[in-house]
A and B are shown apart, each in its own frame.
Chain A
């Protein structure tokens, strides 16, 4: 008994030391045995690491991100993010955890079109522990970040998000992901709508912010050239025992 307890404590310590730690994960979209399933026996991402997640379409990359974000819950196994066991949290706790710990960037359409650039960035603070900051403090943080990303001009910051180019929108999305200084940034193919040059620039921007915030970065990409710039490239197929009966996950 003492040995087992010591082993469990050691595992928890190891998980706490990692940004993301997954053990014996099993997820299925429904109880139907023919539906899409994802199984990962072990995955660990270190704090401050930059990881590229690659794999064919429909292989479960977005599903894995959804699980790490706490939007989806596994049927079995455990997901630890900075020592917090997500599957043991209530839905409300996971939402709060997401607001405080994660910054998320999507492929495209990252912004609420009816909000200004500034308000889109501030939105990330409104649900996190930083929601109690005063309006001017929130604005100051958002403007500082927009400045760093070359979007600080007042007229641009006050523009509606829908009026920006795709490249500008992705930079605003990055600003929103980083504004609360979350320790983990998750990006789901954020460069897919950008041309080759812009893709590289965008990854430069992500890296510089990630270094500035000392955050961990997990990014899904199909671009092997971009993936090569990361500390580590994870092939999803190598990680898990896949059972794909539906595409586009």
Chain B
């Protein structure tokens, strides 16, 4: 036990260098664990953007494309689904509920989505959480809107604020807006970390209402213009939907309904299983997560190389120490062991400190991260994968420390009791 004891005392003697080395290893561990936790959290959050929905149905397109516009509000649908089709799907015996959505308009860069009040009952995200209101309530009137957390935060809206919807999904409305039919914010949703946060929700009928007179594709003129009060009197039953979120009575029925939808003769529509489509999309994004992990691994390697440099740099000053050890009977292997023990102490302390700091950040910052970024991070000291990464750091540290240990070994052999320069 003399060698580990000497190693600790020697490190204590060089405490500033040792402390800096430990800190650099600890910081690299914090970074690596942080990236890993965020990566896992992001993946979990991403894969759980939508939960409780068994099928998403839209105009026939690729699975990923349908997922992108129906869930992430990215891009546009190739076509809409007619309301007759919606009714046919609702009538299917497998179907428990259907929530239609209508996309196409925007408000100051945020997508506007028409839906029904059922959306707030059936939409689930991460760990099957329902949508909750931070203030206000669901839309009750035709010209009321429910906005996501980010919309309210970035635009400074509160319940009662007025919203004008722009025609089209562009950030700039180019004058084509529905300014004659403003909406009032009736509720603001709590943060979810999903695209819901960046969405302005209107009633399906409201989408119809603001487009009265727009049948030719441009803003109505002259007699075509109808006021908000006038449109209330019209039949605003939706004529189409962009996509449908569908809940089934039993998961066992998923594939039979999917097959029915994909072979529906009246219209070219397709149904996707959200989980499968999310998996496909994550594979595309997977390179980014690997790049992040690779960057943090490089930081760890740099920290370990820093440790080796510092130990190698101190070797020349320590040749007398080795000669003393040799004179009292220490073998070159003891000198080798001393250097390895010092490296092990530095790496283990750095890893432990890194784990404690990252757990502390996670413990105290978890709720803030969830609120601000919508990332649900798991409160665990280390996961199995993280433990493997930490073990890899330790093994890596031991491998690189063989370099100064071998150098010390060789010096102790050549120097013996006399330092030769």
Contacts and interface: CB of A to CB of B under 8 A. Distances in A.
Given A109-B320, A110-B324, A115 B329 contact: no
Interface stretch (B8-16, B101-109, B217-225, B391-399): B8-16
B416 interface: yes
A184 to B, nearest CB: 13
A98 B327 contact: yes
A106 B323 contact: yes
A111 B332 CA distance: 18
- By secondary structure, the B interface counts as helix
A95 B324 contact: no
Given A106-B323, A112-B321, A112-B324, A95 B416 contact: no
A111 B323 CA distance: 10
Interface string B404-419: 0000000000001110
Given A62-B417, A71-B417, A91 B331 contact: yes
A95 B417 contact: no
B90 interface: no
A123 B328 contact: yes
A119 B323 CA distance: 17
Interface string B317-345: 00011011111111110100000000000
Interface stretch (A124-132, A206-214, A232-240): A124-132
B272 to A, nearest CB: 67
Contacts of A124: 328-329
Given A65-B417, A71-B417, A128 B321 contact: no
Interface string A70-100: 0110000000000000000001100110111
Interface residues of A, number: 34
Nearest to B14: A114
Contacts of B334: 127
Given A114-B9, A127-B2, A66 B417 contact: yes
| Centre residue among B329, B332, B417 by max chain A CB count within 10 A | B329
B329 A127 contact: yes
Nearest to A123: B328
A92 B320 CA distance: 21
Given A95-B330, A114-B9, A69 B417 contact: yes
A23 interface: no
Given A96-B329, A99-B329, A114-B12, A66 B418 contact: yes
Given A65-B417, A95-B329, A112-B324, 17 more contacts: A62-B417, A62-B418, A66-B418, A69-B417, A71-B417, A91-B331, A95-B330, A98-B328, A99-B328, A102-B327, A104-B417, A114-B13, A123-B328, A124-B328, A127-B2, A128-B329, A176-B328
14 contacts: A63-B418, A65-B417, A69-B327, A69-B416, A95-B331, A96-B329, A98-B327, A104-B327, A104-B328, A112-B6, A119-B9, A126-B2, A127-B329, A249-B418
Interface of B: 2, 6, 9-10, 12-13, 320-321, 323-332, 334, 416-418
Interface of A: 62-63, 65-66, 69, 71-72, 91-92, 95-96, 98-100, 102, 104, 106, 109-115, 119, 123-124, 126-128, 131, 176, 188, 249
Q: Which 8 A-B pairs have the closest CB atoms?
A: A99-B329, A114-B13, A71-B416, A127-B329, A104-B327, A126-B2, A95-B331, A124-B328
